[in-house]
């Protein structure tokens, strides 16, 4: 079966079976989008208002900023795959609760397994702490983390500040852009390993 079909089946299955409480208040599930053959998966936190309305990740202001940064390294949204740790919008965009993250965790792991990217990029601390609970984003951003997790072949992870947090914070924005520009070099480095 083609990866794209596998992803469709996965999303249809989890849309029914996911026991995340946020289902009750969200408009719809927001599935990952992009290339099923992508070398990079970007993982965000949870859908916001625009994503909940459209049913697509990163389509609001943070998404526009992300698209600009992708342009800096000659990538388009179609070249990457993008998803969230939680597939439903938390009310008023509050932080997702631990039980909401764990309810959606298997869904995310199976997505990663199908795509099997070379590199996973975390957008913000929530995505990073889902895999590396002891890391601090202020220290880990822009650094390659290497770790083997059961069931997924990807072992390279690159944490970044969340584009929504950096959007209106001048210094964080500069750091995020500089970290983002390291991505092509990080990919090359991984190929050598």
Binding region for ligand URA (CB under 6 A):
44-48, 51, 57-58, 62, 84, 164
Closest approach, Cβ 22 to ligand URA, in A, equals: 13
Q: Which residue's CB is nearer to ligand URA, number 155 or number 173?
A: 173
Q: Which residue's CB is nearer to ligand URA, number 133 or number 151?
A: 133
Closest approach, Cβ 53 to ligand URA, in A, equals: 12
Closest approach, Cβ 192 to ligand URA, in A, equals: 31
Residue nearest to ligand URA (CB): 44
Q: Which residue's CB is nearer to ligand URA, number 151 or number 168?
A: 168
Q: Which residue's CB is nearer to ligand URA, number 66 or number 183?
A: 66
98 contacts 19 by C-beta, under 8 angstroms: no
Q: Distance (Å, rounded) from C-alpha 150 to C-alpha 44?
A: 21
Closest approach, Cβ 20 to ligand URA, in A, equals: 15
Closest approach, Cβ 70 to ligand URA, in A, equals: 15
Long-range residue pairs from 103-111, CB within 8 A, at least 24 positions apart, any chain: 103/18, 103/19, 103/20, 103/21, 104/18, 104/20, 105/130, 106/14, 107/10, 107/14, 107/18, 108/43, 108/83, 109/151, 109/152, 110/10, 110/14, 111/7, 111/10, 111/32, 111/41, 111/81, 111/83
Q: Which residue's CB is nearer to ligand URA, number 57 or number 142?
A: 57
């Amino acid at each position: 079966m083609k990866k794209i079909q596998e992803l469709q089946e996965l999303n249809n299955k989890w849309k029914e079976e996911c026991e995340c409480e946020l289902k009750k208040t969200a408009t719809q599930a927001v599935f990952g989008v992009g290339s099923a053959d992508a070398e990079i998966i970007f993982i965000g936190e949870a859908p916001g208002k625009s994503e909940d309305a459209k049913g697509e990740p990163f389509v609001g202001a943070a998404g526009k900023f992300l698209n600009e940064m992708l342009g800096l390294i000659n990538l388009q949204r179609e070249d990457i795959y993008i998803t969230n740790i939680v597939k439903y919008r938390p009310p008023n965009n509050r932080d997702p609760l631990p039980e909401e993250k764990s309810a959606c965790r298997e869904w995310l792991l199976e997505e990663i397994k199908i795509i099997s990217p070379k590199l996973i990029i975390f957008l913000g601390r929530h995505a990073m702490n889902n895999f590396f609970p002891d890391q601090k984003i202020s220290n880990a951003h822009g650094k390659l983390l290497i770790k083997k997790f059961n069931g997924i072949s990807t072992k390279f992870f690159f944490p970044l500040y969340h584009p929504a947090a950096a959007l209106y914070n001048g210094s964080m924005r500069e750091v995020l852009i500089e970290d983002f520009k390291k991505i092509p070099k990080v990919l090359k480095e991984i190929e050598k390993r």
